[in-house]
A and B are shown apart, each in its own frame.
Chain A
Amino acid sequence: MAFGRALGFILAVYALLIVSSAMRSFWAVPMPDIPLLVVLYLGLSGRGALSSHIGIALAIGYLADLLGGAPKGLHSLSLGLIMLAARPLSSRLLVQRRWQEIVITIFGATVHGLVVCALAVEPGTTTSFSPSVWELTRTLPMQVFLTALAAPLVYPLLQSIDHRWWPVPRGLRS
């Protein structure tokens, strides 16, 4: 993956995270999982080496951890795992329609939410970040719903960024 493209996506995620964290402090409501949408887009658009994509996912996860107050490494690992799963799927899935985008996002957001929860639980310890089952069942559906709702808006934005470095995109809605 070109360095410019990677930097472009990381900066886009950074900007979106700044906005969403500010919005979250202003209105105490759930926000779409922007880093996940970027990772899904990059993973399913299927360009470049897997390791470089994993590197970007780790960088995005790092930013998400830092700005979201999560334990460092949590989102890096979860997004890295999502990227690891999404990248091979890109050769088997052709996501071209809007409903396909939404479906794949719902699936990805649900898996990501569960992975984050699973990773946050440290056996024998209680951390402030590890959610209870009740919290998980309460917040995860809303988080998934909002992320799926934001997907048709975020993917075109990411595509427009992508066009600057890769004029003929393959993946999501080319």
Chain B
Amino acid sequence: MARARELVWVAVLLSLPVMMLRANLRSQSDLNFVDHALVRISAPLQSWVVTALESASAGWSRYIGLVHVGEDNVHLRVENAQLKQEMAKLQDQARRGTELRALLTLRRELGTETLAARVIGAEMSSMFRVMRIKIDRGELEVSAGMPVLTPEGVVGRIHRVSGPYADVLLATDPLSTIYVSIKRTGSLGVLRGIPGDSRYRMRIEKLSRKDEIKEGDDVETSDRGGFPAGRAIGKIVHITRGDSGLYQEAEVEPAIDLSRLHEVLVVLTPQSPPDKPTAAKGAR
């Protein structure tokens, strides 16, 4: 009897979900009061658990996950170094491109036969001043005495050619002599390099005392001595006038940075034969 009652109970109990399921499969019914109450209680609990899991996950990411960050850091450092190298290379190429374009413009301006050359070496003084530069043009292309220019101004002359290379005597070298004129006054003089410290300085000699030159005047090549006329050399930064004599001297700062030369232009057909500037007649 008890067993039968038990079975009836079981049947009744199991019929409840059967009916509930049949009704719910056809159309999901709304939540009743008990459902609502349970959901209301459960929602904050679920929210707390999710928050706790999120905190745990964030902790994992921040601390334990830092193992991977270390590896990533190493990779990124290597990648950064490679990118820096590539960027420096591209910047160098861009600079060369700009320089070559300027050289090309200069070449057209000069209207004479010229040859572009790359600076491949430099001799430096003990004061780290560049004394001479070496270019990648040799015996078959250039010869001693040929003017060397950049778009910004005069570099110097070919001093010596040996094999496939040539040495350029800079305008700032004491052995260098270049005929120059003062742009404002048209005064003529002879430019020589000043030996000494690390500064790049030149001096104009044989300037007539009557010429009213002043500091800041632009100095350019004259039409004598093989250089194309009117190429920038520098600016007068100091003038020395003695108490007596016919001449005055002016110290000139070069227009170009001679320590940072990369591309230069060699003038193959000088405008006029390179005179010996030691002759006083060349002064004016």
A interface residues (Cβ-Cβ under 8 A, vs B): 14, 18-19, 21-23, 25-26, 49-51, 54-55, 58, 61, 63, 66-67, 71-74, 76-77, 80-81, 84, 119-120, 122, 125, 127
Contacts and interface: CB of A to CB of B under 8 A. Distances in A.
A71 B24 contact: yes
A17 to B, nearest CB: 8
B17 A73 contact: yes
A74 B35 contact: no
B24 A73 contact: yes
B27 to A, nearest CB: 9
B66 interface: no
B50 A77 contact: no
Top 10 A-B pairs, shortest CB-CB distance: A73-B21, A73-B20, A22-B49, A76-B17, A77-B17, A71-B24, A51-B9, A73-B17, A122-B25, A22-B50
Given A26-B50, A74-B21, A84-B14, A122 B45 contact: no
Given A51-B9, A66-B35, A80-B13, A73 B18 contact: yes
Interface of B is mostly: helix
Nearest to A77: B17
A31 B125 CA distance: 79
B26 interface: yes
Given A22-B53, A73-B18, 13 more contacts: A18-B49, A23-B49, A25-B50, A26-B54, A49-B6, A51-B9, A66-B35, A73-B20, A73-B23, A76-B16, A77-B18, A84-B10, A122-B26
A18 B53 CA distance: 12
The size bracket of the interface on B is 20 to 34
B21 A77 contact: yes
Contacts of B49: 18-19, 22-23
Contacts of A127: 25
B198 interface: no
A26 B50 CA distance: 7
A127 B22 CA distance: 12
A72 B38 contact: no
B63 to A, nearest CB: 19
B73 interface: no
A26 B53 contact: yes
Contacts of A19: 49
Nearest to A27: B53
A58 to B, nearest CB: 6
